[in-house]
Copies of this chain bind each other. A is one copy, B any other.
Amino acid sequence: MIDSAQPTALYEQVAHELEKQIHSGTLRPGDRVPSVRRASEQHRVSVTTAVQAYLSLENRGLIEARPKSGFYVRVPRRLQFLEPKTSRPSKAATSVGVASLQSRLADASQMPGVVPFGAALPSPELLPVTKLNRMLASIARRSGARGLSYDMPSGAETLRREVARRSLDWGTNLTPDDFITTCGATEALALCLRAVTKPGDVVALESPTYFGVLHAVEAFGLKALEIPMHPRTGMDLDALELALKKHRIAVCLTVPNFNNPLGSLMPDEHKRRLVDLVTRRDVPLIEDDIYGDLHFGAERPRVAQSYDKSGLVMLCSSFSKTLAPGYRVGWVAPGRFYEKVKSLKLTSTMATATLPELAIAEFVANGGYDAHLRGIRRTYAEQIQRVSHAIEESFPPETTITRPSGGFVLWVGLPPNVSALKLHERALAEKISIAPGPMFSAKQQFGNFIRVSCGHPWSSAAERAIGVLSYLVKRMS
């Protein structure tokens, strides 16, 4: 029997037991795993807990479900490549220059016939295209004048209510009045940055981080101070603490749940400490939770905002990674900066398009959003596994690769003398889009890293593309 006094969740302990059996060879590849009912008896846990344990193992690629037959041990594809090391960004704040690379990546994402390892876009095949468009159609027909009218900030009440309802799952308890809807998380982040900075100010952010944030920092005339990142646990808080002492930092920006490109997950104790650190110095914290719903572990991770008692955390997200990038529906819960953000929204876009907001609200309320999320989480975890495996089979042995805890991107370290920017050029000539590492750093570090998006289903074209990439990498190394 499992000791339920342990701090880790019960299902994790069950999963751990099964994992030991797999690794020890008690359960071999292809073996049928005990039924859920059987497992619940063996470990004296509820059926729900056993199911959670199995889903967790499935998400990690150790077992797989076969229709109407149960769970089986998968051929273990143990990654042999090392993970990248903790990043070592420059300790000085710097101006940024990633704009042109972002434009080129956006352009590549629109080119027909290009293998889409570049932009971090979910494949439309994984999105509820028909259902969502039908909901929008139905709302458009019913809405009358409402659909044509401005949804002045703070945005559609139905949507804010649905998001507030879901906030319980993130360990927090926001109300509809805490939210302002935005044109994607992009607008949310831009508004937050503008609300708490003036040009020349220093923004502490993760290294590597999403290039869109770096581009915004550049465009608003801010300086980036890059904080080292551990590939599994995210921001190095000792380094942040030091930086907060040494520099006059206007705002911190972090992606605790599945940093893009690392897929790291900041442990809860770190989140608490992070909020502590910024609270003590009264520095606002922008938390980007856009990947939070795409966890591979069984539980939805908390947001750092859940530890915030002083309204310093500005929580941002959108439905662009889970439902509909093209609907442009995001939101921000800007804490004590609510009025400022609401006012700035009038100068940015005035309002968010009404009907897409209402359609997203309807889908989240009645469209089976949770079932949909379960499905794409499994698919992304699997695609991450497949792409990792393909890279491992063909890339040079010095290659390093992340083990993401969520999201759908991989961060791949190539041999030191390979230029990711050159590889990006050559790959694009072969109709393969990848995101070169320097895009993810204000100082254009990570010269030998690439980000590989796994948002699209595995295919023979993807397989060939990995082959071509490995050929190019080997020729360059």
Contact = CB atoms under 8 A, between A and B. Distances in A.
Given A137-B141, A144-B129, A198-B221, A212 B109 contact: no
A325 interface: yes
A351 interface: yes
Q: How many copies does the complex hold?
A: 2
Nearest to A198: B221
A130 B117 CA distance: 42
Contact of A100 (B103, B133, B221, B343): B343
Contacts of A103: 339, 342-343, 346
B349 A186 contact: yes
A135 to B, nearest CB: 9
A327 B349 CA distance: 11
Contacts of A183: 183, 328, 349-350, 352-353
A134 B140 contact: yes
A343 B102 contact: yes
Interface in A212-232: 212, 215-216, 219-221
Which residue of A129, A149, A220, A327 has the most chain B CB atoms within 10 A of its CB atom? A149
A356 interface: yes
A140 B131 CA distance: 10
Contacts of A184: 349-351
Given A148-B129, A325-B149, A326-B151, A347 B199 contact: no
Given A184-B350, A346-B212, A140 B136 contact: yes
Contacts of A324: 147-148
Given A150-B121, A221-B198, A326-B150, A215 B346 contact: yes
Contacts of A366: none
Interface string A343-376: 1101111111111100000000000000000000
A349 B216 CA distance: 11
A370 to B, nearest CB: 19
A34 interface: no
A3 interface: no
A132 interface: yes
A106 B346 contact: yes
Given A148-B124, A325-B149, A348 B133 contact: no
A293 interface: no
A95 to B, nearest CB: 13
Nearest to A138: B137
A93 interface: no
A153 interface: yes
A114 interface: no
A140 B326 CA distance: 12
A390 interface: no
B152 A106 contact: yes
Interface string A176-204: 00000001101100100010001100000
A106 B107 CA distance: 36
Contacts of A140: 133-134, 136-137, 140
Given A145-B129, A183-B183, A215-B347, A354 B342 contact: no
Given A133-B144, A184-B349, A325-B351, 17 more contacts: A103-B343, A110-B152, A124-B144, A124-B145, A133-B141, A137-B137, A147-B326, A148-B324, A148-B326, A149-B325, A186-B346, A194-B219, A219-B344, A219-B347, A328-B352, A353-B356, A355-B356
Closest 9 CB pairs between A and B?
A124-B145, A326-B354, A137-B137, A183-B349, A186-B350, A137-B140, A353-B353, A148-B324, A328-B353
17 contacts: A124-B148, A129-B144, A133-B143, A136-B136, A137-B138, A147-B324, A148-B324, A149-B326, A150-B326, A186-B347, A186-B350, A187-B349, A199-B199, A327-B354, A328-B352, A328-B354, A353-B356
